[in-house]
């Protein structure tokens, strides 16, 4: 206890010295009583890094909140102190460019162990957390989606919309959008939220929804952490399927590939028997673990080797689709899938199928993570670039990027799949291209120290710049997903018509601009 007090006092003294914070130290000591304010070097080190491993910013202290009130108390102290200090919520730290970091402020570890972990488990086991009648779950803002899934499955229920990887926090993905192959049908994860508890930049803990504090609700969804810290999200559920039929088919012709993807997402309004539940795709330029780490789907037991289809050595495109089902309807699933596949124009010998439990499908990327970790290939720099590309220019993007700039090595998986804009609520803070259909193109690349120049961080970063310049020169109006900019001019350009609203919301909900400064949109006011 004495050591804890000493550490906390030390942290507070550093705060006072470094940022001129004038708040009474004893007040701060009281504020953190539910959880823990830490200056432990390992806590500070963790909070200084992220998955991207390309930027580093050291906070002065790390708060492991013991309750939503702890989050509110800390933000209130930051807001009301004479000079203010910055506060960044950190989910699982899976950002690429330091978005959850802050220099000389306090990071709130929403997902970590310690008291915040205990909050999670308390929330997880809390009564009424899953409502079968209301078909929702109340999740702690720092809870990982894998834990949300596990707890809802106990009731035979599951969220509708996902990310490909489940070791991300609820607050982290809802601050962006949260997308995967279900988005064409259900919209992004932010379209399945009924209600939020949010600590605003003034330190108020407010409940918001479509009906209540609706401006805050829409601002926070896709709001890049700018308007408040999500401490609870009420997420809509559906009956959980038991199994998944997972299918991949190949194309050598890009327009046949995108025509089929667009056809499949046009079926979103159809009964579930007449459409797939998930539509994604990826580009195959070269094979190998680092390029296709997201799954080991093309195993030696598959009847056709990709190389035999790709005899010209050119770019191939893989459509990835799934159909969910219950064991009780297993007898009709083959027929339904056959009916849909006959409408597609893929290379006829290239159907790869597997069948697995629903949870194993949703958690598929974690298996790949473990494989990469075992080879020391996970904790490496990740210069990822995620773009929303308007449908009208996707074939220009293919010619200019996949078939030209990338050359014959990709250094990581490249996803490509279309989504329907009408599934995105325009009142949220996210920006998407100005067309009814847009594609996600995700270049998920890893920088490796192999001696091969094309694998280096410098090479991949330059290539990203080249891709953005190509789009700019060609007039392809892309929008970055998980955006990263360093000047306010670039942010204004990113938000376009929405900038005025975004700015106004910032002034309303975080007037001292102390939250999520790692996004580099606003500078804190002193």
Helix pair 114-125, 145-153: axis angle to 10 deg? 20
The pair phi, psi for residue 228, each rounded to 5°, is 175, 170
As measured in angstroms, the least distance from the Cβ of 50 to ligand FAD is: 6
Q: What is the DSSP string of 175-229?
A: TT---STTHHHH--GGGGEEEEEEEETTS-EEEEESSSSHHHHHHHTT-TTSSEE
As measured in angstroms, the least distance from the Cβ of 20 to ligand FAD is: 24
Nearer to ligand FAD, 98 or 400 (CB): 98
Which of 7, 34, 51, 207 binds ligand FAD (CB under 6 A)? It is 51
Q: What is the DSSP letter of 423?
A: G
Please tell me the distance from the alpha carbon of residue 33 to that of residue 401, in angstroms, as a whole number.
53
As measured in angstroms, the least distance from the Cβ of 188 to ligand FAD is: 7
| Listed residue (366, 340, 337) closest to 353, CA to CA | 337
Q: Is 355 a catalytic residue?
A: no
Nearer to ligand FAD, 27 or 45 (CB): 45
As measured in angstroms, the least distance from the Cβ of 493 to ligand FAD is: 20
| Residues 191 to 250 in contact with ligand FAD, rule: CB under 6 A | 224-225, 229-230
Active-site residue (options: 164, 277, 363, 398): 164
Contact yes or no for 195/234 (Cβ under 8 A): yes
Nearer to ligand FAD, 390 or 412 (CB): 412
Active-site residue (options: 260, 280, 336, 510): 280
Which of 65, 93, 159, 381 binds ligand FAD (CB under 6 A)? It is 93
Q: Is 58 a catalytic residue?
A: no
Active-site residue (options: 64, 94, 218, 484): 94
Q: Which helix (H) or strand (E) holds 491?
A: helix 488-495
- Sign of the CA dihedral running 298, 299, 301, 304: positive
| Residues 142 to 181 in contact with ligand FAD, rule: CB under 6 A | 142, 163-165, 168-169, 171-173, 175-180
Nearer to ligand FAD, 164 or 260 (CB): 164
Helix/strand/coil for 250: strand
Q: Look up residue 404 and give its two tokens.
A: 């030209």
Please tell me the distance from the alpha carbon of residue 504 to that of residue 218, in angstroms, as a whole number.
13
Residue 57's Cβ-count burial label (10 Å; 0-12, 13-18, 19+) is: buried
Nearer to ligand FAD, 276 or 481 (CB): 481
As measured in angstroms, the least distance from the Cβ of 132 to ligand FAD is: 26
| Listed residue (166, 155, 163, 175) closest to 231, CA to CA | 175
Nearer to ligand FAD, 163 or 350 (CB): 163
Q: What is the DSSP letter of 241?
A: P
Please tell me the distance from the alpha carbon of residue 18 to that of residue 12, in angstroms, as a whole number.
10
Q: Is 164 a catalytic residue?
A: yes
Judged by CB under 6 A, the stretch of 86-94, 261-269, 302-310, 425-433 that binds ligand FAD is 86-94
| Residues 308 to 347 in contact with ligand FAD, rule: CB under 6 A | none
Active site residues per annotation: 94, 164, 280
Residues contributing to the site for ligand FAD (CB under 6 A): 50-51, 88-95, 99-100, 110, 141-142, 163-165, 168-169, 171-173, 175-180, 224-225, 229-230, 482, 516, 518-519
């Amino acid at each position: 206890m004495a050591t804890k007090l000493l550490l906390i006092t030390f942290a507070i003294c550093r705060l006072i010295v470094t940022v001129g914070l004038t708040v009474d130290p004893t007040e701060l000591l009281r504020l953190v009583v539910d959880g823990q304010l830490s200056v432990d070097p390992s806590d500070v080190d963790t909070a200084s890094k992220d998955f991207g491993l390309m930027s580093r910013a050291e906070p002065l202290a790390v708060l492991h909140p013991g309750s939503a009130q702890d989050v509110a108390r800390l933000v209130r102290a930051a807001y009301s102190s004479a000079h203010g200090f910055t506060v960044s919520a950190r989910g699982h730290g899976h950002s690429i460019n330091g978005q959850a970091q802050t220099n000389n402020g306090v990071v709130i570890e929403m997902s970590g162990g310690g008291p915040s972990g205990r909050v999670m488990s308390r929330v997880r086991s809390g009564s009424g957390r899953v409502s079968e009648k209301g078909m929702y779950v109340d999740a702690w803002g720092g809870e990982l989606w894998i834990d949300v899934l596990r707890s809802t499955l106990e009731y035979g229920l599951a969220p509708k919309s996902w990310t490909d990887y489940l070791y991300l926090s609820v607050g982290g993905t809802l601050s962006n959008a949260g997308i995967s192959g279900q988005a064409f049908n259900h919209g992004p994860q932010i379209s399945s939220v009924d209600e939020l508890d949010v600590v605003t930049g003034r330190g108020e803990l407010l409940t918001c929804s479509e009906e209540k504090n609706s401006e805050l609700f829409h601002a926070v969804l896709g709001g890049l952490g700018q308007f408040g810290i999500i401490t609870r999200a009420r997420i809509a559920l559906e009956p959980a399927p038991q199994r998944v039929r997972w299918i991949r088919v190949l194309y050598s012709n890009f327009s046949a590939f995108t025509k089929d993807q667009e056809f499949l997402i046009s079926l979103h309004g159809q009964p579930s028997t007449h459409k797939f539940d998930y539509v994604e795709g990826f580009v195959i330029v070269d094979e190998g673990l680092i390029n296709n780490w997201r799954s080991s789907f093309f195993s030696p037991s598959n009847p056709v080797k990709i190389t035999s289809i790709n005899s010209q050595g050119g770019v191939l495109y893989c459509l990835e689709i799934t159909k969910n089902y219950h064991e009780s309807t297993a007898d009709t699933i083959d027929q339904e899938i056959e009916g849909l596949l006959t409408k597609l124009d893929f290379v006829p010998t290239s159907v790869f199928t597997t069948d697995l439990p629903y949870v194993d499908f949703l958690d598929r990327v974690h298996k790949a993570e473990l494989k990469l970790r075992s080879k020391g290939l996970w904790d490496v720099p990740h210069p990822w670039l995620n773009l929303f590309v308007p449908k009208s220019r996707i074939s220009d993007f293919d010619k200019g990027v996949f078939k030209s700039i990338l050359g014959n090595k990709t250094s990581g998986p490249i996803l490509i799949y279309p989504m329907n804009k009408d599934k995105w609520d325009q009142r949220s803070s996210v920006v998407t291209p100005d067309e009814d259909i847009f594609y996600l193109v995700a270049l998920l690349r890893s920088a490796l120290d192999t001696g091969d120049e094309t694998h280096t961080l410098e090479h991949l970063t330059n290539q990203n710049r080249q891709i953005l310049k190509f789009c700019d020169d060609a007039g392809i109006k892309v929008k970055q997903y998980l955006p990263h900019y360093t000047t306010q001019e670039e942010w204004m350009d990113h938000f376009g018509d929405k900038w005025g609203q975004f700015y106004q919301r910032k002034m309303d909900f975080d007037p001292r601009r102390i939250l999520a400064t790692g996004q580099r949109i606003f500078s804190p006011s002193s």
